[in-house]
């Protein structure tokens, strides 16, 4: 798999329904994760049925009304500037349902998808229910918003967003989750949707396996998505450029168990000291 197959760039012009980026299991060559980004103007609607997939709608920036078959929430959204780093509003929608997102302002919304079983009803995930944590130390410190972690109800989806300050590393030391080998490691496909501030900057992401059959280092621009079908996947934010990414993960078992790259395990031991 080449570097060109690991990056999906946002479209120069949005489609009629506001779509600027689409990843499907078919386009990615995997089984579980789908991801889309839409940019809407005030008054525009995004209407879709979930079909066989559960969905997590993440309001990246802007305000919206969101309705499903049985629920409706008005005036959602408190983040007009993404790098304010406030937790977002999100909405979980099960399979066999539908949703209508009405933009009240300019709106960027992510649609995170994975197979559903109809176990849980639609619900609002307000900022107050988003777990906030700091990971890493020194120049590997970053700030995490756990939107849909494994201890919150969903059938397949795991959703998290991360803010990496300029000059810092993230998803570091490198880890992977590409083996269905619980309890040691879980198989999870993953997408990274990147935003960069200032927007003309870039991030660097490496995706590599132990045997180096996959080993690509990617220059990632604002609005790009990176596919992680397997392997380790650290991210670097160059000096001067803050980096955000929204992660979507899913696999056969909804649990996040990862393996650290043994070459870099010593860094964790240093942090523990």
Cβ neighbourhood burial of 240 (10 Å; 0-12, 13-18, 19+): exposed
What CATH architecture applies to the domain 7-268? Sandwich (2.60)
pLDDT value at 104 more than 90 = yes
Strand partners, 93: 55
Mean pLDDT of 14-27: 94
Q: Which of 266, 85, 62 is nearest to 174 (CA)?
A: 266
Report the C-alpha dihedral over residues 211, 246, 115, 131, rounded to 10 degrees: 110
Cβ 9 vs Cβ 60: under 8 Å: no
**Average pLDDT in the chain:** 96
pLDDT value at 196 more than 70 = yes
What pLDDT is recorded for position 164?
Answer: 98
φ, ψ (nearest 5 deg) of residue 102? -105, 115
What pLDDT is recorded for position 1?
Answer: 58
Tokens of 93: 């929608």
Mean pLDDT of 2-12: 81
Mean pLDDT of 236-264: 98
Half-sphere exposure of 15 (CA within 13 A, CB side): 10
Rounded Cα–Cα distance for residues 73 and 65 (Å): 6
Q: Where are the domains of the chain?
A: 7-268
Q: Which of 128, 132, 120 is nearest to 156 (CA)?
A: 120
What pLDDT is recorded for position 13?
Answer: 75
Rounded Cα–Cα distance for residues 93 and 71 (Å): 10
Mean pLDDT of 205-213: 97
Cβ 231 vs Cβ 191: under 8 Å: no
Cβ 72 vs Cβ 66: under 8 Å: yes
Cβ 163 vs Cβ 142: under 8 Å: yes
Query: What confidence tens digit (pLDDT) does each residue in 131-165 have?
Result: 999 999 999 999 999 999 999 999 999 999 999 99
What pLDDT is recorded for position 48?
Answer: 98
Q: Which of 199, 150, 45 is nearest to 57 (CA)?
A: 45
Percent of the chain with pLDDT over 90: 94
pLDDT value at 38 more than 80 = yes
> What pTM did the predictor assign?
0.96
């Amino acid at each position: 798999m080449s570097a060109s197959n690991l990056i999906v760039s946002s479209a120069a012009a949005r489609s009629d329904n506001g779509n600027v980026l689409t990843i499907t299991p078919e386009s990615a060559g995997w089984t579980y994760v789908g991801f889309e980004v839409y940019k809407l103007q005030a008054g525009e609607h995004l209407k879709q049925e979930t079909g066989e997939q559960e969905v997590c709608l993440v309001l990246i920036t802007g305000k919206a009304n969101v309705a499903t078959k049985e629920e409706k929430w008005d005036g959602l959204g408190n983040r007009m500037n993404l790098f304010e780093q406030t937790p977002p509003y999100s909405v979980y929608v099960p399979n066999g349902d539908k949703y209508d997102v009405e933009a009240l302002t300019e709106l960027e919304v992510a649609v995170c998808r994975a197979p559903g079983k109809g176990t849980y009803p639609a619900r609002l995930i307000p900022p107050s229910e988003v777990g906030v944590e700091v990971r890493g130390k020194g120049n590997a410190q970053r700030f995490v918003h756990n939107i849909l972690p494994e201890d919150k109800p969903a059938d397949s989806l795991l959703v998290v967003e991360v803010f990496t300050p300029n000059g810092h590393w993230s998803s570091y030391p490198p880890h992977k989750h590409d083996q269905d080998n619980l309890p040691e490691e879980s198989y999870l496909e993953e997408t990274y949707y990147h935003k960069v501030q200032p927007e003309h900057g870039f991030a660097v992401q490496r995706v590599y396996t132990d045997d180096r059959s996959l080993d690509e280092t990617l220059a990632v621009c604002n609005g790009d998505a990176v596919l992680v079908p397997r392997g380790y996947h650290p991210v670097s934010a160059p000096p001067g450029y803050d980096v955000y990414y929204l992660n979507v993960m899913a696999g056969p078992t909804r649990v996040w168990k990862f393996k650290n790259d043994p070459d870099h395990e010593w860094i964790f031991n240093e942090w523990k000291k």
